[in-house]
Amino acid sequence: MQDTSFIQYRLTNGLQIVIERMPHVPSAACGMLVQTGSRDEPDALAGAAHFLEHMCFKGTARRSWEQISIDLDALGAQHNAYTCKDRTFYYGWVRPEDVERQIELLADMMRPTLPPDQFDLEKNVILEEIAMAGDDLASVAYDALYEHLCPNHPMGWPVLGYANTIRDSSRQQMAAFAERRYAPRAMTLIVAGQVDPDRILAAAERWCGQWQDADVASVRTTPAMGSGQAIRTMSRFHQQAVLLAYPATTAGSPDEETAEAVAAILGGTNSRFYWNIVQKGLSRRAGVFYEGYADFGTIVLFALCESKNADTVLAAMQQEVRQLTEEGPQPHELQRVKNLRRTGLAGETEAPYYRLGLLADDLAYRGHPRSAAERLDAVDAVTAERVAGYLERFSLTGPGLLVSVGPREDLANSAR
């Protein structure tokens, strides 16, 4: 049965609009979800999606970059944007009476003019971001992980792109990329909070209805997950990053919440990794994360440690996984991670600003929004039996893909 708090509509040009009425909250938030991320870029334009996100704040036919900043400030908006491997999202949180002005501003920003001076200036900003990421061991390790996890696939390159692809990119290339990828049919306006749906739909028609539709050029292909061992020796780092990745369920699947629970039991707050690795002084930072996409998923064990401890830490991570697989979760730890998840969802579903992110996930991976109750039902459905079944289907005890970055030249993977 469809939740009547949601209104879904599509303009004639293909733009989707999703509204969640939250009459009990004294605020509203709206966001523009663009189904474009780094996986949609040609190799010569690696980093274009993130670069374009920056440029959407740098000038339109109606506003200079200064005016965009002034107008955001005048709204009192808590605003932000991000680009990841499969989407770009622009969003802001305002008073209910300002939400239509926020929609107009967002709509204007989605049609940037790419001012030449700002384009060249922003290149330098992004090159600085790339340089800073190169100085951070965790960032270097994450990018190395995906390079080997998704070999010869756009999912494998960094969201920021590479220094050479950013330097070589032109305004003409960026304009063509924007025209293809920011087509109305690839975009969704999401609004949540104390709003009048009729006024929201009228505002969307007024400010977005004139956009011309275009074919979204690229077709996404599913990466073939890499395996084996990749050691990147980098003597300038004094610590070692160790990551062990395994195939996982896709986002939006019935197993998604169980995968989140497995990651939390092993490597979340007060997890097995925390007590048996971090608190024993083997690593200053160790954990597990699950990342799911519409056609691809992975669970990653990771640790940052002194290089001399890398073999010991890797063995300790694998031991915790074996024990969970053989014995299943303890009732108290399963209850703990479910309670944490419930508390987090309760807070997120009460605030329109955070609600937007949940709705964006649902729309990207399920094609429809879920109510707070539906999300909580999915958490409640996680049981020890489902954890055991998940670990049988998606084993974490094989060799997986081992990636290590730091001064070490080799590692001993006991699962190989």
Report pLDDT for 347.
Answer: 84
Q: How far apart are CA 244 and CA 288, in angstroms?
A: 9
* Of the candidates 376, 273, 259, the residue with the CA atom closest to the CA atom of residue 318: 273
Report pLDDT for 77.
Answer: 85
Report pLDDT for 413.
Answer: 65
Instruction: Give Cβ neighbours of residue 206 (< 8 Å, ≥ 6 apart).
Output: 104
**Do 342 and 257 meet the contact criterion of CB atoms below 8 Å apart?**
no
Measured in Å, how far apart are the chain's first and last C-alpha atoms? 48
Residue 216 has pLDDT above 70, yes or no: no
Report pLDDT for 4.
Answer: 58
| Average pLDDT value for residue range 288-292 | 98
| Average pLDDT value for residue range 79-95 | 95
Enter the DSSP assignment of 41.
S
CATH number for region 6-208: 3.30.830.10
| Average pLDDT value for residue range 258-263 | 98
Mean pLDDT of the chain: 94
* Of the candidates 350, 333, 352, 285, the residue with the CA atom closest to the CA atom of residue 29: 352
Residue recorded with tokens 């949540």? 192
Instruction: Give Cβ neighbours of residue 391 (< 8 Å, ≥ 6 apart).
Output: 262, 324, 325
In the chain, where are the structural domains located? 6-208, 228-406
pLDDT tens across 13-33, in order? 999 999 999 999 999 999 999
* Of the candidates 118, 80, 71, 78, the residue with the CA atom closest to the CA atom of residue 95: 78
**Do 334 and 368 meet the contact criterion of CB atoms below 8 Å apart?**
no
Residue 124 has pLDDT above 60, yes or no: yes
Question: Given this chain, do its domains 6-208 and 228-406 carry the same CATH topology?
Answer: yes
Rg (the chain; Cα; Å) = 22
Report pLDDT for 1.
Answer: 34
Report pLDDT for 217.
Answer: 57
Best CATH choice for the domain 228-406 from the list 3.30.830.10, 3.30.230.10, 3.40.190.10, 1.10.10.10: 3.30.830.10
Report pLDDT for 222.
Answer: 94
Ordered alpha helix ranges (H), 28-115? 48-55, 65-75, 99-109
Confidence of residue 319 (pLDDT cuts 50, 70, 90): very high
Q: How far apart are CA 412 and CA 317, in angstroms?
A: 13
Q: 38: number of CA atoms within 13 Å, CB side?
A: 24
Strand, helix or coil for residue 332: helix
Residue 415 has pLDDT above 60, yes or no: no
| Average pLDDT value for residue range 145-153 | 96
Instruction: Give Cβ neighbours of residue 155 (< 8 Å, ≥ 6 apart).
Output: 38, 39, 85, 146, 149, 223, 293, 296
pLDDT tens across 381-400, in order? 999 999 999 999 999 998 89
Residue recorded with tokens 């400010």? 207
| Average pLDDT value for residue range 1-18 | 84
Q: How far apart are CA 309 and CA 240, in angstroms?
A: 9
Confidence of residue 410 (pLDDT cuts 50, 70, 90): confident
Report pLDDT for 72.
Answer: 93
